Amino acid sequence: MKRLIAILLVGVLGFFIFTNLYSEGNGKVFPKFGEVKISERVSDKFVKKNVNGNVTTVEYKVTKDAESGSANMVTSIVVNYRSFDTLGEVTVLFVSALGVGLLLSGKSRMKFKTPPNFILKAAVRVVAGIILITGVYIFIHGHLTPGGGFPGGSMIASAILLFYISDDEFKTKVKAFKFLEGTAGSLYLIFGLLGLTMGGYFLYNFIPTGVVGELLSAGIVPIVYIFVGLKVGSELSNLISDFLSEEGK
């Protein structure tokens, strides 16, 4: 009897899905199997910056005040259309860093068995400076070229790692990094609330998006990327500091 009832329920559910959600006709949720109109896909709307129905041709260095003013399509999606998702990713990183800090944080710097030599120290001072400048460039320029807050912040942390491995006396000022991390994260949330107040949506892009392709464009997108870059860079630097610390005797 139970099997008969189960078969009937599955049959009713299947009939409902086929007739109301899947089969051909206007108002159906799913397209016919194997037949999808590319022009109706969300990704196409992301490329043409017309998610809200503003169908216009987007031209580099010409189009002004587009729905999303970022010339980098990936940035348009990550920081404009799905910025709330990015905020979640930053939160996951924060929770992970907090857990490592609680488990491994120590007061003294861990000493290497083999002290770094002069060549390593001199080379790192040159290379790390280039990495730091490139990292800052990547998250400031992320709305125009490939890059953004996460890769830019990671490059900053990689420069800090080089300082650690080239000098066994080097130790970051953890309090300063924690202040920077907290400030950047708070400003991200504040901009989200400002968007909610001015546009009715959390993280709504409430600043004019300017001309696509110019440095001062894309509204809050480059501002948010700067916050993300500073937050990721400071959090990963703190992680490195925690991994290379030990309890004092």
**pLDDT score at 25:** 58
Which of 14-18, 21-25, 40-44, 180-184 is predicted least confidently?
Answer: 21-25
Which of 44-58, 83-97, 208-222 is predicted least confidently?
Answer: 44-58
Q: What is the mean pLDDT of residues 89-97?
A: 91
Q: What is the residue whose two structure tokens read 């998610």?
A: 51
- Residue 109 — pLDDT band, cuts 50, 70, 90? confident
Average pLDDT along the chain: 86
Q: Is 210 exposed, middle or buried (0-12, 13-18, 19+ CB in 10 A)?
A: middle
pLDDT of residue 172 exceeding 90, the answer is: no
**pLDDT score at 52:** 75
Higher-pLDDT residue of 111 and 230 is 230
> Which residue type occupies 55?
V
- Residue 26 — pLDDT band, cuts 50, 70, 90? low
3-class SS letters over the chain: CHHHHHHHHHHHHHHHHHHHHHCCCCCCCCCCCCCCCHHHCHHHHHHHCCCCCCCCCCCCCCCECCCCCCCCHHHHHHHHHCHHHHHHHHHHHHHHHHHHHHHHCCCEECCCCCCCCHHHHHHHHHHHHHHHHHHHHHHHCCCCCCCCHHHHHHHHHHHHHHHHHHCCCCCCCHHHHHHHHHHHHHHHHHHHHHHHHHHCCCCCCCCCCCECCCCCCCCCHHHHHHHHHHHHHHHHHHHHHHHCEECCC
pLDDT of residue 174 exceeding 60, the answer is: yes
Which of 58-67, 115-124, 169-178 is predicted least confidently?
Answer: 169-178
pLDDT of residue 8 exceeding 90, the answer is: yes
Which of 18-32, 67-81, 112-126, 179-193 is predicted least confidently?
Answer: 18-32
83: tokens are: 């910025």
The pTM of the full predicted model, rounded to 2 decimals, is 0.79
pLDDT of residue 73 exceeding 60, the answer is: yes
State how far the Cα of 94 lies from the Cα of 56, in Å rounded to an integer. 39
Of all residues in the chain, the percent with pLDDT exceeding 90 is: 49
Q: What is the residue whose two structure tokens read 């959600």?
A: 21
Q: Are strands 245-246 and 108-109 parallel, antiparallel or unpaired?
A: antiparallel
